[in-house]
């Protein structure tokens, strides 16, 4: 436990030693993101605020160039991100989507090196069916709980 937070390693499937540094792809995607965000000042500011909020909350962290040198001890992978705008949304019009499936040609992505985990589709279907049986239904936005 560090700073009152529990740290859990990723559920690797054994192929993490084959994971290559995707720094060139991440930089190219970042340049494209910056170009797109520069078209709209409001979107850029909102994106910047979300990134800063996540940084302060410890959800994301700054990466210094020397981190690439630690590759011998653990896999290094930079997760590209982009914005999704949903103008008709009542709560969150802009959200950031991470792309762990990004990879260099003929190389593995981070998703390729992780266990998939169980499918939750069956559970959601059951929840929706059971919610129709009750007289009252309580709904909530769990975005903040998910990040914690």
Q: Highest mean pLDDT range out of 32-46, 59-73, 112-126?
A: 32-46
The yes-or-no verdict on residue 23 having pLDDT over 90 is no
The rounded distance, in Å, linking the Cα atoms of 58 and 36 is 26
The 3 state secondary structure assigned to 72-107 is HCCCCCCCCEEEEECCCCCCCCEEEEECCCCCCCCC
Q: Would you tell me how many other CB atoms lie within 10 Å of the CB of residue 135?
A: 4
With CA atoms as reference, report the closest residue to 78 among 132, 23, 37: 23
Q: Is pTM beyond 0.85 here?
A: no
Q: Is the pLDDT of residue 146 over 60?
A: no
The mean pLDDT value of the chain amounts to: 83
In this predicted structure, the answer to whether residue 57 has a pLDDT above a threshold of 60 is yes
Q: Domain ranges in the chain?
A: 16-117
pLDDT tens digits along 64-100: 765 555 555 677 788 999 998 888 877 778 889 999 9
């Amino acid at each position: 436990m560090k700073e009152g937070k529990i740290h859990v390693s990723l559920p690797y499937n054994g192929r993490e030693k084959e994971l290559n540094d995707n720094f060139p792809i991440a930089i190219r995607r970042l340049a494209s993101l910056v170009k797109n965000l520069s078209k709209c000042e409001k979107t850029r500011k909102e994106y910047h605020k979300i990134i800063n909020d996540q940084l302060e909350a410890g959800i994301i962290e700054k990466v210094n160039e020397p981190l690439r040198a630690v590759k011998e001890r653990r896999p290094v992978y930079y997760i590209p991100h982009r914005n999704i705008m949903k103008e008709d949304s009542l709560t969150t019009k802009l959200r950031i989507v991470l792309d762990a499936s990004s990879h260099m040609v003929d190389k593995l992505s981070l998703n390729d090196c992780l266990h998939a985990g169980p499918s939750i589709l069956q559970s959601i279907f059951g929840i929706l069916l059971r919610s129709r049986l009750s007289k009252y239904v309580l709904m909530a936005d769990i975005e903040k709980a998910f990040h914690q």
